[in-house]
Amino acid sequence: GESVGLHLPTLSVQEGDNSIINCAYSNSASDYFIWYKQESGKGPQFIIDIRSNMDKRQGQRVTVLLNKTVKHLSLQIAATQPGDSAVYFCAEVSGNTPLVFGKGTRLSVIA
Amino acid sequence: GAVVSQHPSRVICKSGTSVKIECRSLDFQATTMFWYRQFPKQSLMLMATSNEGSKATYEQGVEKDKFLINHASLTLSTLTVTSAHPEDSSFYICSGTGSVGYTFGSGTRLTVV
């Protein structure tokens, strides 16, 4: 299930299940969105991106959905594995501005 | 793929001393380098943006005299935390961008004692 920790919401899923991580972004003018995975003590690792002229993009085991009407992004991970345990951040960009990161969600995979 | 090498990965320093963090883009030219700070269980917060050969632009609330940023070449940017205090203890991450999108360094864990 999903719970809110001290600062970071946590999503716990059983190994093999699908995970859905949600993100609300703030700038309706953002034209590029990226999902990052961050493991403890490491920098963010690119997972998948999507441009604002798309509403869905698929990668290997991951799918990103974009709903511009409600400014919502989601990351779907199929057949979640223990190695997927990490904190996931969405980030938005408008033009040449810096990435603005969302609050993040900790994904905990139960073996 | 594009790589940003960030050093050191961990540093412990005494209060009042200065620490320099380096980020090098290894196989691309980073025309812009972003510096982020991340406190435990929180997201990455942008500190400053530096373009090669120009003065850095700092976000509101970030002291430019305390966090000195140098971006003298297209492959090297440094962040110096001057007169460090325990409250500066954090995870610092750089991100270089050029023609290859955004590439992050592996981060520096700074602990000020």
Q: What is the per-residue pLDDT across A35-50, written as a single tens digit (0 to 9) for each? A: 999 999 899 999 999 9
Q: Which residue of B has its CA nearest to A93?
A: B102
List of chain B residues whose C-beta atoms are within 8 Å of the C-beta of residue A89:
43-44
- B108 at interface of A, judged by CB pairs closer than 8 A: no
Mean pLDDT computed over A61-67: 97
pLDDT at residue number A94: 87
Tell me the pairing of strands B19-25 and B45-51: unpaired
Contact B94, B34 (CB under 8 A): yes
**pLDDT band, very low/low/confident/very high, at A5 (cuts 50, 70, 90):** very low
Whether B2 has a pLDDT exceeding 90, the answer reads: no
Q: Which of A38-42, A84-88, B49-53 is modeled with the greatest confidence?
A: A84-88
Contact B33, B95 (CB under 8 A): yes
Distance CA A27, CA A52 (A): 12
**pLDDT band, very low/low/confident/very high, at B22 (cuts 50, 70, 90):** very high
Distance, in angstroms, between A78 CA and closest chain B CA? 25
pLDDT at residue number A73: 95
pLDDT at residue number B85: 97
List of chain A residues whose C-beta atoms are within 8 Å of the C-beta of residue B106:
42-43
Report the amino acid identity of residue A62.
V
Strands (E), A39-85: 45-51, 56-58, 62-67, 72-77
Q: For A44, how many CA atoms within 13 A lie in the half-sphere containing its CB? A: 30
Interface probe for A, chosen from B97, B104, B110 (most Cβ of A below 10 Å), is B104
Mean pLDDT of chain B: 93
Q: The CATH number of the domain where A37 resides is what?
A: 2.60.40.10
Distance CA A25, CA A32 (A): 11
Contact A27, A34 (CB under 8 A): no
Report the share of chain B in percent with pLDDT over 90: 80
Whether B100 has a pLDDT exceeding 80, the answer reads: no
- B90 at interface of A, judged by CB pairs closer than 8 A: no
**pLDDT band, very low/low/confident/very high, at A6 (cuts 50, 70, 90):** very low
Query: Which residues of B, range 21-60, sit inside 8 Å of A by Cβ?
Result: 32, 34, 36, 41-46, 49
pLDDT at residue number B58: 96
B43 contacts A98? CB cut-off 8 A? no
User: Phi and psi dihedrals of A81, rounded to 5?
Assistant: -115, 160
Whether A8 has a pLDDT exceeding 70, the answer reads: yes
Closest CA to A89 of A10, A29, A14, A34: A34
Distance CA A57, CA A65 (A): 7
Residues 6+ apart with CB under 8 A from B49: A98, B32, B33, B34, B35, B56, B57
- B75 at interface of A, judged by CB pairs closer than 8 A: no
Mean pLDDT of chain A: 91
In the numeric block, which tokens belong to residue A6? 């001290």
Q: Which residue of B has its CA nearest to A9?
A: B41
Whether A69 has a pLDDT exceeding 50, the answer reads: yes
State how many domains chain A has. 1
pLDDT at residue number A7: 62
Mean pLDDT computed over B69-88: 95
State the Rg of chain A over Cα: 13
Contact B39, B47 (CB under 8 A): no
Distance, in angstroms, between B46 CA and closest chain A CA? 8
Domain that holds residue A84: 4-110
